[in-house]
Amino acid sequence: MPDQIATTTRPAKASDARSWLLVNGMRTATFESALMSAADQIVLDLEDAVDPRDKPGARLDVAAWLETRSAWVRVNDRTTPFWADDVDHLAHLPGLRGVMLAKTEAAEQVTETFDRLGGRIPVLALVESAVGVEAAMAIARARGAFRLAFGSGDYRRDTGAGAEDLAMAYPRSRLVVASRIGHLPGPIDGPTVGDDHTVLRERTAAAVSMGMTGKLCLDTGQSAVINELLSPTLSDITWARDTLTEFDTRGRTIRDGSDRPRLAHALKITERAAALGLVGA
């Protein structure tokens, strides 16, 4: 019998967010439906989803929407001529929750973006290349870095790697380790293309096993699946509570070398369940 799914009463805040829905910045008619979806966070995309000729118009449309609504925005990478205009147009908008910096390859790119935004808007560094993966430790420690995300499609294009879990294990691990070293929340995995939820479940489960705690998604139908797989189950929560209760009952005495890792895992589960607002947590 499958484990019961713990349900959440609210979207997760950005530090704990599981599903990050990318929304084409040109398709303003979809902004509201994205906001009402199951996604924990939405990201209005001004980068790859928008043709260079259309970027100025998309930028204005996104800025106008953020006057009365809130979302993250994926801005163009620091090396392009579009970066400065993106950041300058967004910096003072009341609805800007943060920016996702495309194709991040250096710590300085994060800090320059953060500073240009006034030193108050979080920067989610999207790592999409071999150079970016190898610089992940420095990027995670950069001033203004909020969280790391994996641009798996561009990484595959850059390196020639396949989409299989084994091929993705090294970059995923690099981002997980870098996030830990940089004292950041767990990283966000790249999107799974297509509408096959079996594949989505397999790829998400693989990311979870590597230590990732979020995932980009490309349509609203993926959000609920991602949220489910990136949340503790009811049996996880019950085990964690029982473990911590039993530890308290025996006077918080350590019995052997396995106790500390087990207790740390139990505490991590209960903290994540509480942060996600899971019913029964």
pLDDT at 10: 54
The residue written with tokens 């990478």 in the block is 77
pLDDT at 251: 77
Minimal CA–CA distance to 215: which of 75, 6, 7, 18? Answer: 18
pLDDT at 5: 52
pLDDT at 270: 84
Listed as own residue / partner, the contacts of 259-265 with beta carbons closer than 8 Å and 24 or more positions apart are 265/240
Q: CA-CA distance, 126 to 205, in Å (whole number)? A: 21
Minimal CA–CA distance to 83: which of 114, 107, 61? Answer: 114
Structural domains of the chain, ranges and CATH numbers in brackets: 19-229 (3.20.20.60), 234-275 (no CATH)
pLDDT at 54: 96
| 8 A C-beta contact, residue 31 and residue 65 | yes
pLDDT at 252: 81
Cα-atom radius of gyration of the chain, to the nearest Å?
Answer: 19
pLDDT at 1: 38
Tens digits of pLDDT across the chain (281 residues): 345 555 554 568 999 999 999 999 999 999 999 999 999 999 999 999 999 999 999 999 999 999 999 999 999 999 999 999 999 999 999 999 999 999 999 999 999 999 999 999 999 999 999 999 999 999 999 999 999 999 999 999 999 999 999 999 999 999 999 999 999 999 999 999 988 899 999 999 999 999 999 999 999 999 999 999 999 888 888 887 878 888 778 878 888 788 788 888 877 888 788 888 885 54
Q: CA-CA distance, 112 to 66, in Å (whole number)? A: 22
Alpha carbons within 13 angstroms on the beta-carbon side of residue 200 total 23
Q: CA-CA distance, 151 to 12, in Å (whole number)? A: 22
| 8 A C-beta contact, residue 6 and residue 27 | no
pTM of the entire predicted model = 0.90
